Amino acid sequence: MKSSASHALPCVAGIGLRAPHYREVLQQLPGIGWVEVHSENFFGGGAPLHTLLRVREHYPVSLHGVGMGLASTGPLDPQHLSALARLCDAINPAAVSEHLCWNSSEGTVINDLLPFPYTQAALSYVAARVEQVQEKIGRRLLVENLSSYLSFAHSEMSEGEFLAELSRRTGCGILFDINNLYVNARNLGVDAGAFIRNVPAEAVAEYHLAGYSERAGINEGESCLVDTHNNPVYPEVWRLYEDALRHIGVRPTLIEWDADIPALPVLLAEAAQAQSRMERCCECVG
Amino acid sequence: MNALGDILPGFSRAIVRGDEPPGQINSAYPKHTVSTAIDVYRNNYLGNLHDALAGAYPVVGQLVGNDFFRRLTRAYIGKNPSRSGNLHHYGEQMAAFIAAFLPAQQLAYLPDVAALEWACHCAYFAEDAGTLDTGKLSRLGQEHYPDLVLVLHPACYMVRSPYPIADIWHAHQPGAPDDFHIDLDGGPCNALVIRNDDSVIVGELDDAIALWLSIIQNGTTLGDATAGTLEKHPDFDLQAGLSRLVSQGVFADFLVKGLP
């Protein structure tokens, strides 16, 4: 029997594994700590699942969902939920995550990650749905903070406070996307320092890093940062990451790159940059 | 109505239909307006659905060219909202949509090519299943054969067309030679999609076995399907056709009507 990779996400850097790199990764088996994939790409059998099972023989795998819609108004899609549960059983992932977002209303699905007002009522609602997912998959869920391009006047708390309370109520972990926080600081004036200081460190189970892009607005002089995952991590985001490492601690850290996907060595070099920051931080703490 | 029911429908309609965004959305941001924010979301919405269609319909895309394909997907998205959080489910109605899409009327074969591509897309993502156990079948008494109900493998599809859609599909696969010639009047095609060693394979069936398989697909017993096929094709060779389909992994299992 082949030994399978260890169950917990190791506290090192990993990469988002996408289709253009499957073959190369399986042939070369580069020295990366773990990989993360988008869950929905493996809902079914055939080549996708069998490829992921081979990857799983060599690396811990994190399943990252983009389609559950934890805050959508309709019931959670039972087919989607069952598919995720089956995938978890097949892969025995080291982590399972979803986003703090909604994606459907009145039967129309918007296949994106959409923000909502952070109210007490929304908190109770989303908490019940996080519990429903955790019960179905039999595992703790990690919930990720979002990149947003707008906010709501009647929010009663910050996104960070919402996530902290969600974690307290449901036991879910927090997937802290540093790039998303930076995008929100620039787009919405969110206080990134307060987020890092106030998020419950023990609940943070993983970091994400990625590159945004800046888009011109529809009026002259406007601009907006868009979470495109198509660039190297920006220096400002690395700095925010170092702040997080100091205040929250070292956690498994993922480099996400989903569009204009570069050659594998470029991705591995980004992961190595994250790894060296993690190690430097360990030294300064130790 | 739940906690978010007062805000999400309006937000959704602003993205999907371009309606005025709900008043609860903050209007002041450091460097952009609400309109720009909604525009970013709308671009994401349209772009993600376009990319899903481009992923499912690469041959249609090559046949009509990028600009036309973008017009087609934009029109399709306008009429067919997404119903699933899994983008791989998006695009099921494309064949019917193209058939009714006036700018594509001259390409009469295009709807059937789209149907074949959707079958390939579904085959790629289909669940795993075993293949029919021929040993178990041979142990079954022959008196039960007429009552056999054959269960298709979830990755198996048949698409029948008056146009040579399998040839068109093969000519537009990566690495196919550029100098192909396809006779559009070359007769009907019964394209069979199967998954072999994780690869999606497009083959062809002759008319008799295709008719037989189409009846079997409805859950009809082997006896009735064979009788129905022989009416139209008196020279139908069940044994040859069946053994070919079984060896290609078309069937996942069988059961016997009337037996537990």
Per-residue pLDDT tens for B137-192? Answer: 999 989 999 999 999 999 999 999 999 999 999 999 999 988 888 888 888 999 99
How far apart (Å, rounded) are the C-alpha atoms in residues A76 and A54? 30
CB contact under 8 A, B124 and A50: no
Among the partner residues B12, B34, B199, nearest to A108 by beta-carbon distance: B12
A8 found inside a domain: no
A158 found inside a domain: yes
Q: Which residues of B14-27 are buried (b: 16+ CB within 10 A; e: fewer)?
A: bbbeeeebbeebee
Residues in contact with B94: Cβ distance below 8 Å, sequence separation at least 6, in sequence order: B53, B56, B57, B60, B76, B114, B117, B118
Is B46's pLDDT higher than 50?
yes
Q: pLDDT tens digits, residue range B75-108?
A: 999 999 999 999 999 999 999 999 999 999 999 9
> ipTM of the assembly?
0.94
Number of A to B CB contacts under 8 A, please give it. 172
Our count of domains for chain A comes to 1
SS3 A49: helix
Q: pLDDT tens digits, residue range A116-175?
A: 999 999 999 999 999 999 999 999 999 999 999 999 999 999 999 999 999 999 999 999
Q: pLDDT tens digits, residue range B187-210?
A: 899 999 999 999 999 999 999 999
Query: In sequence order, which ranges of A153-263 are alpha helices (DSSP H)?
Result: 159-170, 178-188, 192-198, 235-247
A237 found inside a domain: yes
CB contact under 8 A, B128 and A45: yes
How far apart (Å, rounded) are the C-alpha atoms in residues A255 and B64? 37
- Chain B residues lying within 8 Å of A104, measured CB to CB: 12, 85
SS3 B89: helix
Nearest residue to B193 via CA among B116, B247, B127: B116
How far apart (Å, rounded) are the C-alpha atoms in residues B49 and B69? 13
Q: How far is B93 from chain A (nearest CA, A)?
A: 15
CB contact under 8 A, A152 and B15: no
- Chain B residues lying within 8 Å of A109, measured CB to CB: 81-85
Percentage of chain B modeled with pLDDT above 90: 91
Nearest residue to B103 via CA among B73, B77, B80: B73
Residue A284 pLDDT: 60
Q: Can you read off the two tokens belonging to residue B53?
A: 């269609």
How far apart (Å, rounded) are the C-alpha atoms in residues A34 and A31? 9
Is B74's pLDDT higher than 50?
yes
Which domain, by its residues, includes A106?
13-285
Among the partner residues A73, A103, A106, nearest to B85 by beta-carbon distance: A103
A273 found inside a domain: yes
Among the partner residues B4, B9, B126, nearest to A44 by beta-carbon distance: B126
List, as ranges, residues 227-286 from A with C-beta within 8 Å of B. none
- Chain B residues lying within 8 Å of A186, measured CB to CB: 30-31
A1 found inside a domain: no
Partners of B158 in the β-ladder: B192
Residue B3 pLDDT: 77
Residue B28 pLDDT: 87
Residue A153 DSSP symbol: T
A192 Cβ under 8 Å from any chain B Cβ = no
Which chain B residue has its CA at the smallest distance from A68's CA?
Answer: B85
Identify whether the C-beta of residue A187 lies closer than 8 Å to the C-beta of residue A149.
yes
How far apart (Å, rounded) are the C-alpha atoms in residues A238 and A13? 14
CB contact under 8 A, B12 and A40: no
Other CB atoms closer than 10 Å to residue B240's CB: what's the count?
10
A4 found inside a domain: no
pLDDT band at B218 (very low <50, low <70, confident <90, very high): very high
The β-bridge relationship of strands A13-16 and A253-255 is parallel
How far apart (Å, rounded) are the C-alpha atoms in residues B124 and B226? 30
Identify whether the C-beta of residue B226 lies closer than 8 Å to the C-beta of residue B238.
yes
CB contact under 8 A, A222 and B16: no
CB contact under 8 A, A111 and B40: no
How far apart (Å, rounded) are the C-alpha atoms in residues B33 and A106? 26
Q: What is the pLDDT along chain A (286 residues), one digit of tens a residue?
A: 333 444 689 999 999 999 999 999 999 999 999 999 999 999 999 999 999 999 999 999 999 999 999 999 999 999 999 999 999 999 999 999 999 999 999 999 999 999 999 999 999 999 999 999 999 999 999 999 999 999 999 999 999 999 999 999 999 999 999 999 999 999 999 999 999 999 999 999 999 999 999 999 999 999 999 999 999 999 999 999 999 999 999 999 999 999 999 999 999 999 999 999 999 987 665 4
The enclosing domain of A95 has a CATH number of 3.20.20.150
Q: Can you read off the two tokens belonging to residue A5?
A: 């990779």
Residue A139 pLDDT: 97
A251 found inside a domain: yes
